[in-house]
Amino acid sequence: MARLGARWRAVLVAVLAVALLAVPATVGYANVSQAEKSFFKTLVRIPVSEEGIGYTDALGRGYPEGPNAFEVQGSNIYVLDNAHHRVLKYNKDTGQFVEKISFPEEFWAYSLAVDAAGKIYLLDVSAEAVIVLVDGKVIVNRLGNVEIEPVAGFGVTEQGEVYVVRSGPDAMETLVLRPDPSGDLTVITSNRGTMAPDGTLWQVERLCGSAKETGVSVSMLNLNKMFKFPDWLADSMSAFNCLGKAGTTWFFRITTDETDLIVGLNDQTGNVEQLVTFSPVRYAYPNKDVTIDADGNVYLLDPSADGISVVMVASWSSLKEIPRLLQEKQVTPAIREEETKGVTPTSISRSQIMSTASAYHAKQWYCNRYNYEGTYAEKPWQRPRYINQGYNRYYQFVPYCWGGFSSLSGFDSELSSNWAAGNIDTTGNYKQKTAGVDCSGYVSRCWGLSSKRNTYGLMSSDISVRLNNFAELKQGDILCNADHVMIFHYRDANGNYVLYESTKLNAYDRVAHTARSKSSVESSYGPYRYKYLLDP
């Protein structure tokens, strides 16, 4: 309980012996049966099936992906089912299936939003488009020249204008978008802060030095209001998401090093009046998995290997019933020494690592017909989904390529030799005459290694050191597990992770500048540092 304030340590020590006998120690909504008995009520359960939802595998992503988001609007629940290219609609009160709304197979949605009229908006970060589903029609608005990476959020205003939240180290930025006469989206306003679904702009204010002891504040930028969170609830390493206001209560989702919480604050006093915890360790990590409705009901999307559930907070805990989870989850994969040989370590600076990482992201390249169609590539081969505008034109970003280890100059040469541009088919080994990098090939290049290491090799003690905790991460360090590896860039203003990675997540299928939630990173990855840094 070292992180609790002195006053609350004293209170909890006195009550925990009784509280732990009376209530569950923690309510992880990944355990729905337990949640039903305590704080959560299951509204809808959707199995993995042709009629239900589906998942991808974890390779190139870090965890399975599919139902990336959900929304509750009016009397309906909307669940995004990417695997079957549709949105599933259920009645919120009865749990009965209402309909499925399909979208074209070429799209894979990062998130969804639904307006008061039931119009559905999907953001596809790979296709760089917003897809609108209304009255049986599909309307595609391209992002054009709007830069949204690293994207951290998506929604629709009460006026029916979509917005995208972009991560930044000191401040988030919300871009409100509107179609121009050609149908392309343009930025009509750019606002400092993160926009909540109710239109409130908010920003986390982190104090330097003693922040862990003094707490963190959240400013409601367009309301001239600030809420200060006590240090027993959140600290400078916590991540925040304002869910909006219902009645006199502001709802926040807070992710600490130990747990996830939903917190309700009184609008006038700022006091914590409602609080419930749930486990940050999940089967998958949807981009939008918590929302509220106009009545102040809080809903969560609960992924599991055999399906997904929508659950509602049915009752709230008192502060005395919330034991702190003090054990940080550790990811300790077994190291296969036979896979780590043959790599010559070289010294490199952090600035060199980040310069290379950025260069792969900024890379412009010309795609000919053979690159596009994979004419000479070993089969099976599958073209990255973002390469979707035909050939004899330029694209940006080095594509994801299973087993790939292309240098930047080598990538140009390989394309000139009519190799295929990327490959997202992850069966078997590297396919000959495919150009690009997979996640570990990308990190190996950025670290300046002379030959490619896989994820196990990058975690090997001869090349990297596992950090004691996530707070030690600096630019150029990595976050790694058996399935995926990413380069740490910074923590954004809301406390989540901004990364460089070659990934299949969200159908990027390329080197991407991404934002991932604190819970998804710290529950699934371990932090590592290259041993031969010039500036450790």
CATH topology (fold) of 6-315: Neuraminidase (2.120.10)
36-74: per-residue pLDDT in tens? Answer: 447 899 999 999 999 999 999 998 999 999 999 999 999
Judged on CB neighbours under 10 Å (0-12, 13-18, 19+), 352 is: middle
Q: Which residue, 396, 492, 470, is CA-closest to 152?
A: 492
Percent of the chain whose pLDDT exceeds 90: 79
Instruction: Locate 376 and state its tokens.
Output: 């000479």
Least confident of 9-23, 37-51, 195-209, 215-229: 9-23
Residue with tokens 């950090």: 467
Cα-Cα-Cα-Cα dihedral sign, residues 102, 107, 113, 116: negative
347-359: per-residue pLDDT in tens? Answer: 999 999 999 999 9
Predicted confidence at residue 326, as pLDDT, reads 31
Q: Write out the H or E segment, with its range, that includes residue 18.
A: helix 6-22
Assess whether pLDDT exceeds 70 at residue 287: yes
162-182: per-residue pLDDT in tens? Answer: 999 999 999 999 999 999 999
CB 513 within 8 A of CB 505: no
Residue type for 84, please?
A: H
Q: What is the DSSP letter of 359?
A: H
Q: Which residues pair with 465 in a beta bridge?
A: 529
CB 275 within 8 A of CB 319: yes
Average pLDDT, the chain: 88
Do domains 6-315 and 337-530 share one topology? The answer is no
Cα-Cα-Cα-Cα dihedral sign, residues 485, 447, 350, 507: negative
Assess whether pLDDT exceeds 70 at residue 3: no
When pLDDT is averaged across residues 197-224 and rounded to a whole number, the result is 79
| Angstrom distance (rounded) from CA 285 to CA 152 | 14
Assess whether pLDDT exceeds 80 at residue 502: yes
Task: Quote the radius of gyration of the chain (alpha carbons, Å).
Answer: 23
Length of the chain in residues, anyone? 536
pTM of the model: 0.87
Give me the residue spans of the domains in the chain. Answer: 6-315, 337-530
Instruction: Locate 302 and state its tokens.
Output: 């609960």
Instruction: Locate 133 and state its tokens.
Output: 């589903």
Residue type for 30, please?
A: A
The CATH number that domain 337-530 falls under is 3.90.1720.10
